[in-house]
Amino acid sequence: MFVVLLVLVAVFSLLAPETFPTAANGRNVLTDVAVLLVMAVGTTYVLVAGGFDLSQGSVLVFSGVAAAKTMEALGGQGAGTVLVGVAVGLAAGTAWGLANGLVITRLGVPALITTLGSTGAALGAAQLLSDGTDVRTVPDALISVAVQRPLTLSWLVWVAALVALVGGLVLATTRYGRHTQLIGSNAESARRAGIAVDRHTASLYVLNGALAGLAGLMSLTRFATTTISGHTTDGLQVITGVVLGGTSLFGGVGTVLGTVIGMFIPGVLNNGFVVLNVQAFWQQVAVGVVLVVAVYVDQLKRRRRNAA
């Protein structure tokens, strides 16, 4: 998929030579991808373990609203207000992840149905908290995080890079990562090996929820508002990027490095379409088509592995 990414960059550079292949636009792409990449790391873990989660975008919105309303209620522009808001945002995302994990592992409800329900519930809860309007009273101390650019890149990019680095190392080199892969390959074998499959699976959804909460805070920092209606396709883009990066929808296979590469494909597509002034709905069409193609390729790879 790295070759596909290079081809996309080359095509858009040829079509828009004065605007696309610039340092400023490159920084825009990195910042755009940063928020989605944080969620994609958690989704990689869930998919590698054979799970599924559609609720990331809605959990992001709910976490951002919960944090913003908390900071609004506390008032002030200081670091103390921001720290409390950050804690609430992370706790909100973690709570949704825990709820998903418990419903899936304890009640036996399929992950697709559970997270589809959470998608509507989290978004509805966010609208109830905010009365359906965006919260714009974000403290300056939080907004300044996105404005500052160490080494010319936004702090949001560095946060995403750190999450990806730690997530990649844990998945590839630790017992937790190996257990995640074994559960995705064969859950029954994992049980026989002494792994607490249900507990581990629930922890993956908790992780995914916490990272969606962090993404909500990052979005709040970047836009200085909750952007309730601005994340309707986040889940689709995250799943697309993760699958494009080589993570199998059938479990057992996947790396965070692949996810990083995969996430830039919808990111570059969206940015390229904006630069070319392509209407917004075509961006969604393109991402949807890319997802279908990625799943088809994943199925072909799975058949080859089974035949080997």
Integer Cα distance of 268 and 272 in angstroms: 6
The overall average pLDDT reported for the chain is 90
Question: Which of 88, 43, 96 lies closest to 67 in space, CA to CA?
Answer: 88
Contact between residue 171 and residue 48 where contact means Cβ atoms under 8 Å apart:
yes
Residue 278 pLDDT exceeds 90:
no
Task: Map residue 235 onto helix, strand or coil.
Answer: helix
pLDDT score recorded for residue 113: 95
How high is the pLDDT of residue 118? Answer: 94
Its CATH architecture, for the domain 2-307, is Orthogonal Bundle (1.10)
Structure confidence at residue 135 as a pLDDT band (50, 70, 90): confident
Token representation of residue 282: 């075509």
Nearest to 28 by CA among 242, 244, 268: 268
What does the pLDDT look like over 60-78, one tens digit per residue? 999 999 999 999 888 877 7
Residue 146 has pLDDT above 80, yes or no: no
The single residue listed with the structure tokens 């636009």 is 25
pTM: 0.91
Give per-residue pLDDT as tens, 154-184. Answer: 899 999 999 999 999 999 999 999 999 999 9
Q: Residue 106 pLDDT more than 90?
A: yes
Query: Would you list the domain boundaries of the chain?
Result: 2-307
Vertex 20 angle, CA 15 and 26, to 5° = 150
Indicate the pLDDT class of residue 105, thresholds 50, 70 and 90: very high
Q: Phi and psi at residue 50, in whole multiples of 5°?
A: 85, 15
Distance, CA of 104 to CA of 205 (rounded, Å): 9
Burial class (CB in 10 A: 0-12, 13-18, 19+), 256: buried
At residue 161, the pLDDT reads 96
Task: Report pLDDT for 308.
Answer: 62
The encoded tokens of residue 204 equal 């993956």
Please report, for the chain, how many H helices and E strands are present, in that order. Answer: 13, 0
